[in-house]
Amino acid sequence: MPEGPEIRRVADRLGKVLVDVPLTQVWFAFPELESMAGRLVNSRVTTVDCWGKALLITFADGHVLYSHNQLYGVWRVHRRGRSPTTGRVLRARLVAGDHTASLYSASDISLWTADTLRQQPFLARLGPDLLTHDVTAEDIVARLSEPRFAGRGLGGLLLDQGFYAGIGNYLRSEILFYAGLAPRKRPKALSEAQREKLADCILTTVQQAYREAGVTNRPTWRKRLQREGKRRSQWRFAVFNRDNQPCHACGDLILRETIASRRLYRCPTCQPE
């Protein structure tokens, strides 16, 4: 399932074709939304943002279209009049200028206003988005020290979207590896230097995944693998999906564990228990 960086990239693609371009069609498959289509087509899109795995399209009249892809939903950008070949079911369509943004197979779609958006049940449970809400390393250090988070194991905490929105399973393994921390460590047991390093790794790893379309491995490590002719799946990550393979940093074999009911990968030497 896409994580925060992938959803942020989708939001950016949609924004390039929709923002401040006159709308010529707004269509929804759901009757409760279709009644608003005529009003929205007379407005315009002002921003396209994401919050965790939710995508938010804001219109000039104050309405916000909320969508969550869940397992099967996907936004596609294509030329007007040239729908992509797909077996997915069309749920929403916005046409602006020469481009169309089509939402397929998602079932969680609703309209809100800027004033009521925080009442949306999914968004109401989320912490700040690491790529949308201008989060700093200092913000993360402070949040790690809050009583509701400080006593929890990092392996579970990083997946909690109420802590920060946008971290999923591959990012969790990569962040903890770069921070040199085992997943059962708790924020309250870390030194100040360790909390600061973890905060920095959270930001830099998520930002790299955004810039490089999901790649989190260090350039020096992945370039060696690329020269050897390895596939993208083999050089994309530092530890994720690399169980029983040598750690790029120390050579020890990567372990696969189950933490918070999800698979996690770590180096036992670089991330000692």
Residues assigned a catalytic role: 2-3, 53, 262
In 10 A of CB 267, how many CB atoms? 24
Per-residue 3-state assignment (H helix, E strand, C coil) for 61-94: CCEEEEEECCCCCEEEEEECCCCCCCCCCEEEEE
CA distance 198 to 156: 15
Please give the sequence-ordered ranges of beta strands (E in DSSP) within the chain, or none if there are none: 23-28, 45-51, 54-59, 63-68, 74-79, 90-96, 99-104, 108-113, 255-259, 262-266
Burial bucket for residue 210 (CB in 10 Å: 0-12, 13-18, 19+): buried
Exposure b/e, 161-198, CB count within 10 A at least 16 = b: bebbbbbbbbbbbbbbbbbbbbbebebeebeeebbbbb
Among the listed residues 8, 71, 54, 18, the one whose alpha carbon sits nearest the alpha carbon of residue 213: 8
